[in-house]
C-alpha cells in the first residue's frame, strides 16, 4: 500500500496537480503541517531547511534536509515554500522566496512591525504573479466560517458587541523550547500576537473594519519575558459595534485537554451566537435566530489541513484563499495600536495600510 501511494504521488507531481513545498523552519508547527499534508491531496513536502539538521530530517528525510536555505533552493525542485520561522524573519524569507519565483504560505503573524508589513504589501504587489498567504487556519474551521458568513449576511441584525475570551495554559518550557518567543524584537509581542491574533482575525472577519482600540497588557507570571502574558482590549468598529478581548496564557488548570480554549459571543438585535474553539472540539450555537446554513468553503479533515488544501487550490486553480496579505495586515495594525494604547493609557486609532 505504501509503494502504491508513493507512485500515485509521483504521477500527480508529473501532471502538475500537486503543489511541491520546501519547508523553512522545522519546529512544532512544521510537524503539524507535515502530518496535515499526509491527508491533503494537492500538496506534498519535497525538502526542508532548519538550523537544526535533525529537525529538517524529520520533516523531509535525510536526502532532502538542509541547514542553509540557499542550498535547498539550489538543489531541490519545488514551487512553493511554507515559512515557519520566528516572525522577525518573515519579511526577509518572503522576499527571498519571491525572488526565487516561489509561492509562499507563511505562518502568522504577518511580521513584527507595521514598517515591515508595508514592505511585505509592496512585495506582494511587485510579485503579483505569485501567491502569498498567511496561515490563520481557524478561518478554515467550518464553525468560524459559518459564524463570519452569518454576520456578513446580517443574520443577527444590527450587531451591538462581541466578547472574545482566549485562555492558554503555558509553562516555562514554552519559552525554554523557543527562547525567541520571550524577545520583543524577534516575537513582536506575547500572548495577544501569538495566541490572540487567531481570534482577533475571526472578530474582524465577522464585524468588519476596526477604528480604534483601548488596550492593556502586562506580565504577571513570566516576569523575565520581554512580552506580555496577559492582555485586554476594547475595539470600536466602523459599524458602531464593539469587541471586548480577554487573553491570557497562564490559565491553571487548563480549560481543555488541548491546554487552550477560545470563545466568541456576539450579540445583535435579533439574537446572539456563541462560538467555541479549538478544532476538533469547536461548536457554534445560535439563540433567537435559526441556524445559519452555508456550503463549506473547503472540505477536509482538520482546519489546518483545509487551510493547506485551500492554499494549494489557490495556486493550482486560482480559487481565492481566505488568509491574504490584506486581512493579515489588519490584525497586526490592530494589535500594534493595542500595544501603543497600553503604553499611552489612551484610545489609539488603528492604522490602515
Tens digit of each residue's pLDDT (9 = 90 or more) over 169-212: 999 999 999 999 999 999 999 999 999 999 999 999 999 999 99
What is the band of 16 on the pLDDT scale with cuts at 50, 70, 90? low
A 10 A CB-CB count for 186 gives 18
Query: What's the pTM value of the predicted model, to 2 decimals?
Result: 0.93
- From 311, 303, 300, 306, select the one nearest 133 (Cα to Cα): 311
Q: Do 95 and 83 contact (CB within 8 A), yes or no?
A: no
Tens digit of each residue's pLDDT (9 = 90 or more) over 117-159: 999 999 999 999 999 999 999 999 999 999 999 999 999 999 9
pLDDT at 2 over 80: no
pLDDT the model gives residue 299 = 87
Question: Percent of the chain having pLDDT more than 90?
Answer: 93
CA distance 235 to 218: 18
Task: State the chain's mean pLDDT as an integer.
Answer: 94
Backbone angles phi, psi at 221, to 5 degrees: -110, -50
Tens digit of each residue's pLDDT (9 = 90 or more) over 234-284: 999 999 999 999 999 999 999 999 999 999 999 999 999 999 999 999 999
pLDDT the model gives residue 6 = 36
How does DSSP assign 30-81, residue by residue?
A: HHHHHHHHTT-TTEEEEEEE-SSHHHHHHHH-GGGEESSHHHHHHH---SEE
- Going along the chain from its start, the domains and CATH numbers come out as 2-134 (3.40.50.720), 138-291+323-349 (3.30.360.10)
Question: Percent of the chain having pLDDT more than 70?
Answer: 95
What is the band of 301 on the pLDDT scale with cuts at 50, 70, 90? confident
Q: Do 217 and 245 contact (CB within 8 A), yes or no?
A: no
CA distance 308 to 322: 11
Give the number of residues written for the chain: 353
pLDDT at 15 over 70: no
pLDDT at 1 over 50: no
The cell for 28 is: 512544532
Amino acid at each position: 500500500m505504501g509503494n502504491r501511494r508513493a507512485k500515485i504521488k509521483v504521477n500527480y507531481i508529473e501532471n502538475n496537480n500537486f503543489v511541491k513545498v520546501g519547508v523553512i523552519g522545522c519546529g512544532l508547527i512544521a510537524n503539524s503541517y507535515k502530518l496535515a499534508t499526509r491527508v491533503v491531496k494537492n500538496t506534498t513536502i519535497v525538502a526542508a531547511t532548519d538550523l537544526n539538521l535533525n529537525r529538517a530530517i524529520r520533516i523531509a528525510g535525510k536526502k532532502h534536509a538542509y541547514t542553509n536555505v540557499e542550498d535547498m533552493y539550489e538543489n531541490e525542485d519545488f514551487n512553493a515554500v511554507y515559512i515557519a520561522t520566528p516572525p522577525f524573519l518573515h519579511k526577509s524569507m518572503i522576499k527571498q522566496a519571491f525572488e526565487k519565483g516561489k509561492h509562499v504560505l507563511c505562518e502568522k503573524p504577518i511580521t513584527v512591525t507595521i514598517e515591515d508589513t508595508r514592505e511585505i504589501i509592496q512585495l506582494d504587489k511587485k510579485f503579483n504573479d505569485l501567491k502569498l498567504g498567511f496561515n490563520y487556519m481557524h478561518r478554515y474551521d467550518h464553525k468560524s466560517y459559518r459564524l463570519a458568513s452569518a454576520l456578513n449576511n446580517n443574520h443577527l441584525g444590527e450587531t451591538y458587541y462581541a466578547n472574545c475570551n482566549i485562555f492558554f495554559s503555558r509553562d516555562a518550557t514554552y519559552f525554554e523550547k523557543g527562547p525567541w518567543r520571550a524577545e520583543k524584537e524577534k516575537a513582536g509581542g506575547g500572548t495577544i500576537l501569538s495566541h490572540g491574533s487567531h481570534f482577533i482575525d475571526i472578530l474582524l472577519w465577522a464585524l468588519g473594519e476596526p477604528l480604534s482600540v483601548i488596550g492593556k497588557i502586562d506580565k504577571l507570571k513570566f516576569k523575565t519575558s520581554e512580552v506580555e502574558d496577559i492582555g485586554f482590549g476594547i475595539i470600536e468598529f466602523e459599524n458602531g459595534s464593539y469587541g471586548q478581548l480577554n487573553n491570557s496564557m497562564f490559565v491553571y488548570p487548563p480549560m481543555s485537554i488541548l491546554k487552550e480554549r477560545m470563545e466568541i459571543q456576539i450579540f445583535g438585535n435579533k439574537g446572539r451566537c456563541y462560538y467555541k474553539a479549538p478544532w476538533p472540539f469547536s461548536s457554534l450555537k445560535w439563540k433567537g435566530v435559526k441556524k445559519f446554513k452555508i456550503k463549506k468553503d473547503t472540505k477536509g479533515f482538520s482546519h489546518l489541513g483545509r487551510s493547506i488544501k485551500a492554499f494549494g487550490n489557490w495556486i493550482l486553480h486560482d480559487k481565492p484563499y481566505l488568509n491574504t496579505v490584506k486581512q493579515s495586515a489588519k490584525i497586526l495594525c490592530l494589535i500594534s495600536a493595542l500595544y501603543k494604547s497600553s503604553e499611552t493609557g489612551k484610545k489609539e486609532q488603528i492604522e490602515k495600510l
